[in-house]
Structure 1
Amino acid sequence: MIAGISMEPTRWTPPAAPARARDARGTPPLATPRRIELSSAGPEDVVVGDDGFVYAGLADGRIVRVDRESGSVVDVVNTGGRPLGLCAEPGGALLICDAHRGLLRWSGEQLTTLVDTVDGVPLNMASNVVVDDDGTIYFTTSSRRWVLDEWMNDLLEHSGTGRLLRRSPSGEVETLCDGLHFANGVAFTADQSALIVAETGGYRLHRYWLRGTRAGTFEPLVDNLPGFADNISLGSDGLIWVTLASPRNPLLDLLLPRAPFLRKLVWRLPAVLKPKPVRTVWVLGVDPTDGRVVHDLQCDATNYGMVTGVVEVDGTLILGSLDESAIAVTTVSGEQN
């Protein structure tokens, strides 16, 4: 918890969870992922660099480079914080959302802080990031009230302090959208005319138009998701790939519209009694033009769970997880990888 704050719940009536939220497997089910073991836990996001390697940030601050064919893992940098969302820039640099340190760039030789305050306030829980062809960076922050280790408190409170921000090539930072309920993954559409943004606590995907007659407008793309959307990415197939870290939580949905003091009571309970994620492996492939779900792929969490990062490359899905000590590889087709 950020110093000096307490639970201040806001009422919200969520839409009734769709029946899909109660299913444990997709039709057809996702093929069981193949694990690639790492030396530490928490590869929360995964990206593929220009060099073809997978990059992921770990709970101990390290970012690793992974060869998904051989399984070799190499340390590339330690942020000294907690890296979350990553973006591979042309030429080999990485943009890094660090939950503790803000927005960073690793050039291959040097780690640079790009944004660590916004409007004079330290940047908390930077979540995910993309960069435009002209060097404009778009990134999300999930909460201004709760730190990463207490992310569930933000969903319980539902105070809506997440943001979508833009950093110009000259370094100016502008808030494009405020009041988001745990803003999370962000991705371009294939033509870069719009951004897709995951709002974890609102069970939604939004579209923010960057170009054309609707530039600057923010609209729902997919509403009433059956789970908690986390990181997202643009696939080689032109779809937006979305991780659902957990199905909807019936107790949380029950509490959100009711008297705030009930959630204050839950906040004070021992951790074992609080609402918590249900382990699953679940990703969606969404058409960014109309929000149609093209792929709904889920399997049980026998050997992997709490998927928070996904990238699709020519039908291969590479997965990351906030909890696991591995990344995982599977396929869109359902064939074993």
Structure 2
Amino acid sequence: MERTTALVPLHYVSLGARGPEDVVADPHGRVLTGVSDGRILRLHHPGDPRAARVEVLAETGGRPLGLELLPDGDLVVCDAVRGLLRVRTDDGTVRVLADKVAGEPLRFCSNAVALPDGTLYVTVSSRRYPLDQWIGDIVEHTGTGRLLRLAPGSGEPEVLLEGLQFANGLAVSADGSFLVIAETGACRLTRYRLTGPGAGSAEPFADLPGMPDNLWREGPGGPLWVALAGPRVPPLDLLHRTPPAVRRGAARAAVRAPYRPGGTVGVVAVDDQGRTVHHLTRRRSGFRMVTSVCATSDHLVLGSLWEPGVAVCARPAGP
């Protein structure tokens, strides 16, 4: 499917804090997110601006990024400072699941998915740049992203895959046979096979019209929603073909320069064959740098590393 349709904004909900980087919907239509001051929030009635209400669930003491809602209502939280956490949403208790990997601190973990047997898979975006210098990794094209596996009962994950270009969003296929990894720096989705003859191997899954960030699967048979943090940038593609020293110099300059995201935003939805079923865009958007998307009822809810709230948009018609 190549046709692009408009991303139609309906309203905006302020959260009172910046950077709801990931948004996930629970079975009751509420939206959970983490913000820059370390709090985990739950947004009630996101589709009704008059009834919308924000509830504080916990404080991680770090910087929460990707969230994974577990069947018992708890959250797995990828914290860029503290590592991989489990948060009880009833009393706010925070427990560290892992803070080291391969003999070094687990930093800048970005997203996680949980399998029915309790296994957790986790992405690490960069081993060279911290979260507040993320643009340096995108510019330098370091390829230091990782995919990790934390077995049930284990306190330290194992490294399954290295060399990823800013590994970010993570989701599991409907049949549980593979993972989908967002490589933000390469504008693509990558498939990592969990079962079958190719188990343990990775291959391209889908090329995208922008830089993918967080992923969210809408139920077992639903599509995989992909937030596009920004469009493709042809000069950046050219820079990535230059020698490492040139890219390092450009990255140093990018980290020091003021950054403001552009006004073109978008989301796509793909099926388990990597085919695009929706591509929604908006130019000159007031809501910038969409880093996550989830669906609730008749709406799409967008999160952002940049904004102090979430945007609620119309859900597209069709499959």
Per the normalisation by structure 2, the TM-score is 0.90
Instruction: Give the one of 291, 298, 302 matched to 1:308.
Output: 291
Give the Cα–Cα distance (whole angstroms) in 2 for the partners of residues 55 and 200 of structure 1: 23
8 Å contact 2:83–2:108 — kept in the other structure? yes
Residue 125 of structure 1 corresponds to which residue in structure 2? 108
8 Å contact 1:33–1:304 — kept in the other structure? no
Aligned length: 309
The CA deviation string for residues 94-125 of structure 1, in whole angstroms up to 9 with x for no partner, is 00000011000012332000010002200110
Q: Which moved more, 1:66-75 or 1:138-147?
A: 66-75
Residue 8 of structure 1 corresponds to which residue in structure 2? none
Residue 247 of structure 2 corresponds to which residue in structure 1? 263
Residue 137 of structure 1 corresponds to which residue in structure 2? 120
**Which amino acid in structure 2 is aligned with residue 184 of structure 1?**
N
Instruction: Give the one of 121, 142, 145 matched to 1:162.
Output: 145
CA pair 315-217 structure 1, distance change in 2 beyond 3 A: farther
**Which amino acid in structure 1 is aligned with residue 191 of structure 2?**
R
Instruction: Give the one of 20, 37, 41 matched to 2:14.
Output: 37
Instruction: Give the one of 183, 187, 195 matched to 1:211.
Output: 195
Give the Cα–Cα distance (whole angstroms) in 2 for the partners of residues 59 and 254 of structure 1: 33
1:189 is displaced (CA, Å) by: 1.4
The CA deviation string for residues 211-252 of structure 1, in whole angstroms up to 9 with x for no partner, is 2333222111113x2211100111245211111100112332
Give the Cα–Cα distance (whole angstroms) in 2 for the partners of residues 163 and 266 of structure 1: 23
CA pair 141-72 structure 1, distance change in 2 beyond 3 A: same
Per the normalisation by structure 1, the TM-score is 0.86
8 Å contact 1:85–1:96 — kept in the other structure? yes
Pair 1:66-2:63 in alignment: no
Identify which of structures 1 and 2 has the higher relative contact order when contacts are C-alpha pairs closer than 8 Å and 6+ apart.
1
Give the Cα–Cα distance (whole angstroms) in 1 for the partners of residues 229 and 39 of structure 2: 22
Q: Which moved more, 1:127-136 or 1:324-333?
A: 324-333
Instruction: Give the one of 282, 290, 300 matched to 1:317.
Output: 300
Give the Cα–Cα distance (whole angstroms) in 1 for the partners of residues 289 and 10 of structure 2: 13
Q: Which runs of 5+ in 1 are unaligned?
A: 1-19, 21-25
Q: Which moved more, 1:160-169 or 1:277-286?
A: 277-286
**Which amino acid in structure 2 is aligned with residue 208 of structure 1?**
Y
Matches for 1:2-151 after TM superposition, within 5 Å: 27-67=4-44, 68=46, 69=48, 70-108=51-89, 109=91, 110-151=93-134
8 Å contact 1:29–1:334 — kept in the other structure? no
1:164 is displaced (CA, Å) by: 0.8
**Which amino acid in structure 2 is aligned with residue 226 of structure 1?**
P
SS in 2 for 1:138: strand
Give the Cα–Cα distance (whole angstroms) in 2 for the partners of residues 239 and 246 of structure 1: 21
Cα RMSD over matched residues? Answer: 2.1
Residue 161 of structure 2 corresponds to which residue in structure 1? 177
Q: Which runs of 5+ in 2 are unaligned?
A: none
SS in 1 for 2:287: coil
The CA deviation string for residues 119-145 of structure 1, in whole angstroms up to 9 with x for no partner, is 220011010011111111111010111
Give the Cα–Cα distance (whole angstroms) in 1 for the partners of residues 244 and 235 of structure 2: 14
1:276 is displaced (CA, Å) by: 6.4
SS in 2 for 1:232: strand
8 Å contact 2:170–2:181 — kept in the other structure? yes
